[in-house]
Amino acid sequence: MKQHLLHTPEGVRDIYQGECEKKLYLEDKLFKILKTYGYQPIQTPSFEYFDIFGKEIGTTKSKDLYKFFDREGNTLVLRPDITPSIARVAANYFMEDPMPIRFCYKGNTFINTGSLQGRLKENTQLGAELIGDNTPDADAEILSMVVDCLIHAGLKEFKLSVGHVGILQGMMEAAGFDEEEEDVVRDLIMNNNFFGVDSFLEARHLDQELKRLFSVIGKLYQSAEEFQAARAAAEKYPKIQAAMEHLEKLQSLTLLYGIDKYISFELGVVSSYKYYSGMIFHGYTFGSGEPIVKGGRYDRLLKHFGKDTPAIGFVIVTDQLMAALSGQKIETPLEHVGQLVVYDEAHREDAVIYARRQRAAGCSVELLLKAVDRTRADYEAYAGRRQIARLRFMDDRQQ
pLDDT classification of 392: cutoffs 50, 70, 90: very high
Residue 83 in marked binding region: yes
* Domains of the chain by start residue, with CATH: 17-328 (3.30.930.10), 339-394 (3.40.50)
Residue 179 in marked binding region: no
Measure the CA–CA gap between 197 and 188, rounded to whole angstroms.
6
For the cut 90, the answer to whether the pLDDT of residue 114 exceeds it is no
Beta partners for residue 110, in sequence order = 122
Mind listing the pLDDT tens digit for each residue in 11-33?
889 898 888 989 999 999 999 99
pLDDT at residue 116, rounded to an integer: 59
> What is the crossing angle of helices 17-36 and 136-153, to 10°?
150
pLDDT at residue 399, rounded to an integer: 46
Measure the CA–CA gap between 341 and 347, rounded to whole angstroms.
11
For the cut 90, the answer to whether the pLDDT of residue 198 exceeds it is no
Closest CA to 138 of 27, 261, 305, 296: 296
For the cut 90, the answer to whether the pLDDT of residue 54 exceeds it is no
Residue 396 in marked binding region: no
Mind listing the pLDDT tens digit for each residue in 262-301?
999 887 788 878 889 999 999 999 877 789 999 999 999 9
Residue 17 in marked binding region: no
Residue 208 in marked binding region: no
What whole-number percentage of the chain has pLDDT above 90? 60
pLDDT, mean of residues 380-389 = 90
**Most confident among 51-65, 87-101, 168-182, 330-344 (mean pLDDT):** 87-101
Please tell me the pTM assigned to this model: 0.88
Spacing of C-alpha 184 from chain mean position: 26
pLDDT at residue 192, rounded to an integer: 77
For the cut 90, the answer to whether the pLDDT of residue 157 exceeds it is yes
pLDDT classification of 2: cutoffs 50, 70, 90: low
Query: Rg of the chain over CA atoms, in angstroms?
Result: 26
Residue 125 in marked binding region: yes
Residue 276 in marked binding region: yes
